[in-house]
Amino acid sequence: MKHDVKVIKHPLVDCHLTTLRDKATSGAGFRQAVKMLSTLLAYEATANLKTTVRPVETPIVTCDGHDLNRRVGLVPILRAGVAMVEPMLDLIPTSEVWHLGMYRDEATAQPVHYYSKLPEDSPVDVAFVLDPMLATGGSALMAIDSIKKWGVTEIKMLSIIASPEGIARLQNECPEVQVHTCVVDQRLNEDHFIVPGLGDAGDRIFNTIG
């Protein structure tokens, strides 16, 4: 089953995206915009999480409350995905965080998998793959494949900016994975960077440009 891509339409998203795109934005400003947009993405992507009803005593009466009844895993793709973890944990403090390390070989534009913290058993109920940019889709597919092998059956991809090519590749190869993004940009250029994009998200987050 092919899921529709969920694109957030909101004026605050547009404003924070402008901050991200601006080459004059400082590292601190860039990180703050990533945090705000990740929070908005998380709010949308968690809308169908299941809860269990339990009674709670307010200072006035007893009423029905709700608790999440599923184990949630956050899987940031190192290194840029780390910046999206904190806002997710702010919303779901009980989340487990499992890291995957990948980088793009600039000569081939192919992902290289160099680190995994996924356990061999006891998979979470739902996993959120976190990466600010969905470009070629190579790293995302490698991460999703690792998570599937772990045994997770519900996986969602959260990216602030996505390319049409990356989305098409995910929908073709992993149609069951729902993609949540703030914007779908125009295209990939000859160097496989998103246009208009925002440059290298990892370098801008960690002040390692140049």
Neighbouring residues of 103: CB distance < 8 A, sequence distance ≥ 6: 111, 112, 114
Average pLDDT of 157-168?
96
Please name which of 154, 155, 156, 162 lies closest in space to residue 179, comparing C-alpha atoms: 156
Domain ranges of the chain: 6-50+61-206
How does residue 210 score in pLDDT terms, banded at 50, 70 and 90? low
Q: Which pLDDT belongs to residue 1? A: 44
Residue 207 carries which DSSP code? T
pLDDT above 50: residue 80? yes
User: Smallest Cα–Cα separation from 41: which of 20, 27, 66, 58?
Assistant: 20
The residue-averaged pLDDT of 192-207 equals 93
Report d(CA 38, CA 160) in Å as an integer.
7
For the chain, state the CA radius of gyration: 18
161-165 long-range Cβ contacts below 8 angstroms, 24+ apart: 161/17, 161/20, 161/132, 161/133, 161/134, 161/185, 161/194, 161/197, 161/198, 162/5, 162/133, 162/134, 162/194, 163/134, 163/135, 163/136, 163/187, 163/188, 163/194, 165/135, 165/136, 165/137
DSSP symbol at 49 = -
Q: Which of 108, 145, 153, 208 is catalytic?
A: 108
The catalytic position among 25, 71, 104, 125 is 104
Whether residue 120 contacts residue 93, with contact meaning beta carbons closer than 8 Å, is answered with no
Q: How confident is the model at residue 206 (pLDDT cuts 50, 70, 90)?
A: very high
Query: Tens digits of per-residue pLDDT, 18-65?
Result: 999 999 999 999 999 999 999 999 999 999 999 999 999 999 999 999
Higher pLDDT, 4 or 106: 4
Question: For this structure, is 104 an active site residue?
Answer: yes
- What CATH number does domain 6-50+61-206 carry, 1.25.40.20, 3.50.30.60, 3.40.50.2020, 3.50.50.60? 3.40.50.2020
Catalytic residue among 21, 31, 125, 200: 200
Q: CA-to-CA distance for 183 and 48, rounded, in angstroms? A: 21
For residue 125, indicate whether it is catalytic.
Answer: no
Residue 158: pLDDT over 70: yes
Q: Is the pLDDT reported for residue 112 higher than 90?
A: no
Strand partners, 188: 194
Give the pTM.
0.91
Is 108 catalytic? The answer is yes
